[in-house]
Amino acid sequence: MSGPPPRWTVYVLRCGDGSLYTGSTSDLARRVAQHRAGRGARYTRARLPVALVHWERARDRSGAQRREAALKRLSRREKLAFLRRARAAQRAARGGGPGRARALPAPTVRRGRPARPGWS
């Protein structure tokens, strides 16, 4: 028999050059360790060191991949604003000050193409 079903997670890393990397995994600790050891994604290998700046649980793999795609569609400015809101909401949940989580903004149309159907 197998163990409990994997718990999928969507995460955001801040790379050594200040860029942001978004991914999803069923084992966050293992995946972040891979990134830090230079065995993660090709993108992060060239931009070490990396730091985990945000993570959130997803219901299943499909939900994690949809959320990852939604975050990747955001501009850098939108991602930074999202990270600030998420951090403020986390502080507020711990009683550390004002803040409120807000919904992720709708994806914008880029290069004249609408967002792909089914990616909501």
What is the rounded distance in angstroms from the CA atom of residue 16 to the CA atom of residue 46?
A: 9
What is the rounded distance in angstroms from the CA atom of residue 104 to the CA atom of residue 120?
A: 10
pLDDT at 116: 54
State the DSSP code for 4: S
pLDDT mean over 18-41: 96
Q: Domains of the chain: which residue ranges?
A: 9-93
End-to-end CA distance of the chain: 35
Q: Which helix (H) or strand (E) holds 2?
A: none
SS3 state of residue 98: coil
SS3 state of residue 29: helix
**Angle at the Cα of 101 from the Cα atoms of 72 and 74, rounded to 5 degrees:** 15
Q: What is the pTM of this model?
A: 0.75
pLDDT mean over 81-104: 76
Fold (topology level) of 9-93: GIY-YIG endonuclease (3.40.1440)
- In percent, how much of the chain has pLDDT > 90? 67
